[in-house]
Amino acid sequence: MAIDVVVPPLGESVTQAILIKWHKADGAQASMDEPLCELETDKANVDIPSPGVGVIRRVKNEGDTVGVGEVIARIDTVGAAAPAPAKSGGAPATAPAPVTSAPAPAGSKLDDLSPATRRIVAENQVDPATITGTGRGGRLTKEDVQNSLQRGNGEGAATAPAPATPVRHQAPASMTTPSPKTAPAAPAAGSMNFDARGERRVPMSKIRRRIAETLVKAQQTAAILTTFNEVDLQAVMDLRSKWKETFEKTHGVGLGFMSFFGKATVQALKEYPHINAFLEGEDIVYHQHVHLGIAVSTDRGLAVPVLKRAEELSFARIESEIKRLASAVRDGKLGLEELSGGTFTITNGGVFGSLLSTPILNPPQSAILGMHTIQKRAVVINDKIEIRPMMYLALSYDHRIVDGKEAIGFLVRVKQLLEDPARLMLEV
C-alpha cells in the first residue's frame, strides 16, 4: 500500500512552492511525522512531514516547482520489508543493484538529470560528462554543477574543459580582478564577471518571480488608494522611557513601538470593520477577529507572520509574539498556520529610514498600514513652535470596499490613540 505525500495548503494567495531540499534519500525508511523535504514559498520555508511509516519513493526532484495538492512522493508501507525478500530471490536480488550503481556516468546524459540540474547545465553550456556526480548512484546534482562552476571561476584545474565551453561568461578575463570593486553588493554565490558591455545578467529566482507576480496582481485587481497623516509620538516615547525597565522586568520582554501601533490598529479596526474585511466575488466578508500581519524583511524578501486574535493580546503578548515570529521567519522555522489568515497588515519601512511610502496591499486584505521613520520636526503646539518626534503614516486601501471617509477616519483614530496613549488603556 502506498500513501501519497502531497503539498499542503500554503496560505492565502500561495499556490506554488519550490522543493529545495530532500531530507530523506529515495528508498530510505521514513517514520510517522518525520520531515521528508523542505519547500520554499514566497512567505517562508516549510518542512513536509511523513504521513505514514514506510519506504519513501520520490516523485519530484530538488529544484522542481510544485503546486498545492500535487504528489511529491509516496510512502510504501509494505516497502519496509522489501530488502528481506530481495535476498531470498538470489540472482534477481543482485539485478537491481547495478541499476542504481552502474550508471556512474548517468550525469553525462542530459535526459537523466533533474529539471533544476538540466536548466543550470543548459544555461552555463556545461558538459555534464566532465563533472563527477555525488547523488544517488553517481547521479549529477545541481550542487555538483554549481560547485564545478565556482571551481572553474577560480583555480579549477581538474574541471578545465567545463569552463572552456561557457566562453561568454569567462571571456572578459581582464575584468575578473576589478569586478569585486565594481559590484560589492552582488551576491557572494555565482560568477562576479561582467560581459564586454559591463553588464552582468542573473536569472530572477523563482521566489522573487512569485513575489513580483503577487504584487503586480494586487495592483491589477484592486482599486488601491493611499491616504496619509502624521502622528506626534512624544507621549508614546515619554511613556516608554518611564516604564520601559519596569515593563521588561515584569514581562521579560522590551516595550517597543509596535505594541502601541498594534493596539491602536486593533481598536480602530473595531470602529471601522470594512477595513478588516475583504471582497470575495460580489460578497463582503467581515471578520469577527483581528488577525494582525506584521511584515518582516528577510534576505529572501518580505514575509508576513500573523498574530491571531490580536484584540485579545496584551502589550506584553504583542511584543513577545512579534519577536518570536520575526525570529522564526528569519530562521525559516515558521509554520504555515502562522503565515496564514491575516486580515490586516502593518509594515514598517521606517526601520530602513523610509520617510514616506505607499505600501501595496497583501491580498486578499483590503488595507495595509505603513509606518515610517521617526524624525524630529518643528510643529505648532498650542500656537507655539516645538520640536517633536513625528512619523508619517500611510494607509493603502481597496477603494472598492473602503470609502475615503472610512480610510481617513481610521487613520485619524490611530493618530488620536497614539498621541494620547491613555485612550489605549481605557479604550476610549
| CA count, 13 A, side-chain hemisphere, 280 | 8
Does residue 316 share a domain with residue 274? yes
Residue 364 domain-assigned (yes or no): yes
Q: Tell me the whole-structure pTM to 2 decimals.
A: 0.63
Residue 205 domain-assigned (yes or no): no
Does residue 390 share a domain with residue 328? yes
pLDDT at 96 over 60: no
Does residue 165 share a domain with residue 305? no
Kindly report, residue by residue over 200-236, the tens digit of the pLDDT: 888 877 667 777 887 888 888 899 999 999 999 999 9
Can you point out the beta strands (E) in 271-383? 278-280, 283-285, 292-294, 296-298, 301-303, 306-307, 344-348, 367-371, 375-381
Domain count, the chain: 3
Kindly report, residue by residue over 45-67, the tens digit of the pLDDT: 778 889 999 999 999 999 888 98
Percentage, residues of the chain above pLDDT 90: 40
Does residue 418 share a domain with residue 343? yes
What does the pLDDT average to over 169-198?
49
Percentage, residues of the chain above pLDDT 70: 75
Residues 345-374 as b or e (16 or more Cβ within 10 Å = b): bbbbbbeeebeebebbbbbbbbbbbbbbbb
Last residue of a domain, one of 68, 94, 120: 94
Does residue 82 share a domain with residue 118? no
Average pLDDT across the chain, whole number: 79
Does residue 384 share a domain with residue 309? yes
Residue 263 domain-assigned (yes or no): yes
Does residue 172 share a domain with residue 151? yes
Does residue 370 share a domain with residue 266? yes
Does residue 57 share a domain with residue 122? no
Quickly tell me which residue has 519530484 as its cell.
60
Last residue of a domain, one of 40, 68, 94: 94
Residues with catalytic annotation?
399, 403
CATH number of domain containing 8: 2.40.50.100
Domain that holds residue 71: 2-94
Does residue 74 share a domain with residue 166? no
Which residues have C-beta within 8 Å of that of residue 68, sequence separation ≥ 6? 7, 8, 9, 10, 14, 15, 16
Does residue 261 share a domain with residue 230? yes
Q: Supply the pLDDT for residue 183.
A: 39
Does residue 113 share a domain with residue 46? no
CATH number of domain containing 293: 3.30.559.10
Last residue of a domain, one of 53, 70, 94: 94
